[in-house]
Amino acid sequence: MDFYFNQNIGDPANIFITIVAVAVGFVAGLAYIDKIRTKKNEQEEGR
C-alpha cells in the first residue's frame, strides 16, 4: 500500500494546480453573480 500514498508529482505542480483551481472557482463565482444580476435587471426592465 506504500505506492498508494506516494506522491506522483512534485510540490510546485501541486501548488500550481491549487492556484488554477482557485482561479477557476473565482471566475465561476463571478460569472454566477453576473448571471443573477443580469436576470434581475432584465426582469425590472420588462415591467
pLDDT, tens digit (0-9, with 9 covering 90-100), for 15-46:
999 999 999 999 999 999 999 999 988 888 87
Q: Report the predicted TM-score, pTM, of the whole model to 2 decimal places.
A: 0.70
How many Cα atoms are found within 13 Å in the side-chain-facing hemisphere of 16? 5
Mean per-residue pLDDT for 4-10? Answer: 78
How many Cα atoms are found within 13 Å in the side-chain-facing hemisphere of 30? 6
Rounded Cα distance between 27 and 36, Å, is: 14
